[in-house]
Amino acid sequence: MSRRFADIIDLYLLSGSEFTRRLRAVRPEQWPAPTPCPEWDVHSLVNHMTRGNLGYVALLNGGSAAEFLRLRDSDALHGDPVCAYVRSMRECAAAFGAPGALDRILDHPLGSVTGAQGLAMRTTDAAIHSWDLARAVNAPEELDPRLVAWVEDNLVETYAGLAESPMTVGTSRRYFAAPAAPPLAGESRQARLLRLTGR
């Protein structure tokens, strides 16, 4: 396992807590609200995050990329988005915290990854979507600086060797929006990370 991913369980939990904090701020009338992700409203974004956690647990337990994609948009909230997401986050952290899990090979849709690299992808996803959710529901948008720094510093290694990356020019953009351009003078680390991921 790469030394860069040594604290990945803690970082994953930090990114999940950032998403949870915004999720708890969602008012009933905001579930159909649009998000910065054009294909998702608030409800479907939360479902995407919850289903993603469960999907990564399935990959860790030997599930296939095809099955992951087949279930990607199926309902995982069951009428209680907050509880469903928090439960899925805890289940994911517990699964990846098991002995040997971070060294296991996962059949991810973007290519084979170790458990550690997969969880780094999940951590990055949760960080960026925490901002998306905050923007959608007018919640505080500033992310934990430690999380922002880690995600930005490790974007290249997190997606190394995969079929698509937020850092790759000419990628299919099936999974990642194109980086926003140009950079702003004096932009913060968070602003730079969001720009690199198409926000």
In this prediction the pTM is 0.91
What is the pLDDT, as a whole number, of residue 99?
97
**Chain segment 137-166, per-residue pLDDT in tens:** 999 999 999 999 999 999 989 998 887 777
CATH number of 3-167: 1.20.120.450
User: Using H for helix, E for strand and C for coil, what is the string for the chain?
Assistant: CCHHHCCHHHHHHHHHHHHHHHHCCCCHHHCCCECCCCCCEHHHHHHHHHHHHHHHHHHHCCCCHHHHHHCCCCCCCCCCHHHHHHHHHHHHHHHHCCCCHHHCEEEECCEEEEHHHHHHHHHHHHHHHHHHHHHHHCCCCCCCHHHHHHHHHCHHHHCCCCCCCCCCCCCCCCCCCCCCCCCCCCCCHHHHHHHHCCC
